[in-house]
Amino acid sequence: MLGRFALVFAVFFFSSFHTKDSYRRIPQTNFGVGEHLEYRVHYGIFNAANAVVDVSPNVYQVNGRTCYKINIVGTTLGAFSWFAKVRDEWQSWMDTSAIVSQKFYRNIQENNYRKVETTVFNHDTDDAVVTDENGTKKFEVPNHIQDAISSYFFLRTLDFSKLSPNEMVEVPTFFENSVYKLKVKYRGKDVIKTKYGKIKAFRLTPIMPNNELFKGENSIRIWVSDDANKVPIKVEVDLWVGALVMEVSSYRGARNSYNWY
């Protein structure tokens, strides 16, 4: 279930120029090496899970490009583990200049299900090479394809103040051997209460297809901080049975100050 829930972070925006012999450049001051975020997931009165998002203090070379290495770990907690025991790890090597994925890794442990998979992207030939326990396969992908993590960080480079309420944007994201044309609506601005105080936030609604987990196409609401960090502060998810709420519980290493008040 957390594997699907992680797709919330894959609902982001497509961008402009691309040529076969060059990368785009996206200047940004929203995040950097050493950033650390922790989230607590609640299911009703239960503490259901923890999620940790880490940007390595070092940069790495992948496909001849300098990359951030981003690691996300999600684990279920306590009594919730009796129903769904999860320990998922996701990694992205994201180009520091172009803000696209060069490499993606996931190690999924959900009850008795196991999946270890690595995807390497070639942005010159627009393909993705996926290696798992069944071997290696190559897939054609669009320009500036993102993975489930890099798309979340790409989101943080955008200026939401230039969007109009209910404006729809799309992004191609590669996940589980397929390209998803995911959509998200910008809904406007809100003020969110947190353990650190109040903070102004942009509200986003990913448009979800019919599925067995989420209740309707507007079942997910994401609040992103209205400051230079643009960090997801809170996520609400309506399920067919109950609801999940995810809130930031700890942070350090932010590139900019948060505007708590």
CATH number at residue 55: 2.40.360
- Dist. CA 2–CA 237, nearest whole Å: 12
Neighbours of 59 (CB within 10 A): 15
Q: How confident is the model at residue 78 (pLDDT cuts 50, 70, 90)?
A: confident
Least confident range from 126-135, 150-159, 171-180, 210-219: namely 210-219
| pLDDT over threshold 60, residue 99 | yes
Q: How many contiguous H segments (helices) and E segments (strands) does the chain have?
A: 3, 14
The mean pLDDT value for 184-206 works out to: 95
Stated pTM of the model: 0.87
- Tell whether 19 is covered by a domain: no
- Tell whether 258 is covered by a domain: no
- Dist. CA 166–CA 239, nearest whole Å: 23
- Tell whether 20 is covered by a domain: no
Q: Can you give the pLDDT at residue 25?
A: 95
- Tell whether 154 is covered by a domain: yes
Q: Can you give the pLDDT at residue 240?
A: 76
- Tell whether 257 is covered by a domain: no
- Dist. CA 100–CA 143, nearest whole Å: 10
- Dist. CA 235–CA 241, nearest whole Å: 17
Neighbours of 208 (CB within 10 A): 22
Domain range for 100: 2-11+25-252
Average pLDDT, the chain: 88
Number of domains in the chain: 1
